[in-house]
Structure 1
Amino acid sequence: MGYLSMAFGLPLFLLWSLFSSAHAATFEIRNNCPYTVWAAASPGGGRRLNSKQQWTLNVAAGTKMARIWGRTKCNFDASGRGRCETGDCGGVLQCKGWGVPPNTLAEYALNQFGNLDFFDISLVDGFNIPMDFRPTRSPSGKCRPISCTANINGQCPNPLRTAGGCHNPCTVFKTQEYCCTQGPCGPTKLFEILQGEVSRCL
C-alpha cells in the first residue's frame, strides 16, 4: 500500500491520501489554517473544516481529471446553499463541478498510463490558499511531496488581484498571449513578475 498527501501554504490546508493495492484512494483532508476552509472535491462534494478539522474522502480506482481545493469566506444556509469568496462551485456546499477561479488546485488521476497514479498542485485557476500534497508512504520511492507555500496573494500583480486570491492572467485577459492555446508562446511581463513566487511552488 502507498500513501499520498497534499498541503496549502504557510497556514497549511493539508490533504493526505492513502492508496490501496487496487489503487483506490482515501484522502484525509486536514485544515491546518488558523481560519475556516470549506474543502471541495470533484468527485466528492464538500465539507466545512474549522482549523485542525479533517475530512476523509474515499475515491474509486480509475478516477481521473479529479480536483480537490479549498474555498474561503463561505456562507451557507441550512440547505447547503450560499456563496464563497474564492473557489465557489455553483453556490452549494456539496460541489458537483469545478470551482470558480481563483483557487489553488490539487489534481490527481488513478490507474492511468502504465497503471500509475499521478498527482500535482496547479495554479491554472490562480491561487487562493497555500497547499501541500504528499504520499505518506511510497513503495517505489518515486512519489515525493509537493507544496505551494509562497505568498502569491501578497505578490500578486495589480491586474490579477481579486478578493481573497490571485488570478491566472488567462482568466483575466482571455487572450492568446496569456492563454497560449495555439502555437508557441513566450514569456510575458506578468510571467516575469510571478516567476519568482511560482517557482517556490514546485
Structure 2
Amino acid sequence: MKGENLLSRFAICLLIVHLIGVGDSYADTENDRNPDASSWKEPSLITLPGRSSDQVSDGHVFTGFPGANSINFIIKNNCPYTIWPGTLTSSGPAFPSTGFELAQGASRTLTAQPSWSGRIWARSQCFMDGGRFVCRSADCGSGQVACNGGGAIPPASLAEFTLNGHGNLDYYDVSLVDGFNLPVRISPRAGCPSTACPVDVNRICPQELSIRDPRGGIIGCKSACLAFHQDQYCCTGSHNTPKTCPPTNYSQFFKNQCPQAYSYAYDDTSSTFTCGSGSTNYVVTFCP
C-alpha cells in the first residue's frame, strides 16, 4: 500500500507540474551586444537554461507565474500606428521572439526566466526593401522582423531590465542614453514604482539632433554622443567617470522632458528603479 501511495503522490505531482506549465529548457543564445549602444550594461547574472514561451492576443495573455518559473512582459502598443518591438538579451535565456509586428491597440506577452537581463524597444516605419525587412526608426539591422541578436540602431528609447539582481531585486529603467524614438512606460503589476518617458521628444528635438524621414518628419532624436562623437558627451576617454562626465546641456534637455529616464551614462540616482525579484510581471507600453 505504501508503494502505491507513493506512486499516486508522484503522479499527482507530475500532473501539477504539467498544469503550471513547466516546459523544456533551452540553451542561452549568447546574443552579442550592440557596439553602437552607449547605454549597454554588461550582464552581471549567471546564465541559466529555462522555460520560455510567448503568445499573441488582442488582450493580455498570462503564460507564467511570478516567483515560480517565469516572469511575464506584456508589451502594449498604444501608438496610433503599427510598431515592431525588438528584444535583446544580455543574460539568461533569450526570448523565443526577438522581434514581431504589433498592431495599434494590440499587446503581446513574452515570458522570461527570473535570470533574464536585457532590453526591449520598438521600431517604426518598417517595410520590405529588395527582400529585406527595414525600419527607418530603431532598426536592428537583421533584414528580418526578428532581430536575431541585433540591438537597436540609435536613436532608440529603451526599456532595460535585470531580473533577480543584487539584493534579490529586479532593476529596471527607461533609457534615452542612445537617444529617443518613441514614448515608453514600464509598469510593474505588483505596486512597485513605474517609470516612463511619456513625452514625444521628437516634437521639440533640437535641429542638430533630429533624424527625419523622407517626408521631413522627425522620427528620432539623437543623443549628443551619437551626434558629435565627443568624449564629454559619450563619457569616454578622459571623461569616463561620474566625476569627469557631468550632465551637459544636451543630456539636460532629455532630462527636462523625461525626469525619470536615463539622460546620460551616469544618470543612475534618479533613473534606476527596483522591485522584489519574482514578485511581479511587467507591462511595457509604447505611446502610453
Amino acid at match of 1:148: C
Structure 1 or 2: more strand by fraction: 1
Distance in 1, Cα, partners of 2:220 & 2:162: 26
Structure 2: gaps of 5 or more residues? 1-59, 89-93, 213-218, 262-270, 272-288
Structure 1: gaps of 5 or more residues? 1-14
Structure 2 matches for 1:1-202, cutoff 5 A? 20-22=66-68, 24-42=70-88, 43-44=94-95, 45-64=98-117, 66-76=118-128, 81-90=132-141, 91-95=143-147, 96-138=149-191, 143-163=192-212, 164-181=219-236, 182-183=240-241, 184-199=244-259, 201=261
Distance in 1, Cα, partners of 2:186 & 2:259: 16
CA RMSD across the alignment: 2.4
**Does structure 2 retain, via aligned residues, the 8 Å contact 1:157–1:193?**
no
Report the identity percentage. 37
Once the two structures are TM-superposed, the CA of residue 16 in structure 1 deviates from its matched residue by 10
Which is bigger in relative contact order (C-alpha 8 A, separation at least 6)?
1
Once the two structures are TM-superposed, the CA of residue 127 in structure 1 deviates from its matched residue by 0.5
> How many residue pairs get matched?
181
Once the two structures are TM-superposed, the CA of residue 200 in structure 1 deviates from its matched residue by 6.3
TM-score, length basis structure 1: 0.80
Distance in 1, Cα, partners of 2:164 & 2:252: 36
Change (3 A) 1:113 1:167: same
**Does structure 2 retain, via aligned residues, the 8 Å contact 1:31–1:51?**
yes
Looking at CA atoms only, which structure, 1 or 2, has the larger radius of gyration?
2
Amino acid at match of 1:145: S
Amino acid at match of 2:101: R
**Does structure 2 retain, via aligned residues, the 8 Å contact 1:16–1:30?**
no
Higher mean C-alpha displacement, 188-197 vs 99-108:
188-197
SS of structure 1 residue aligned to 2:81: coil
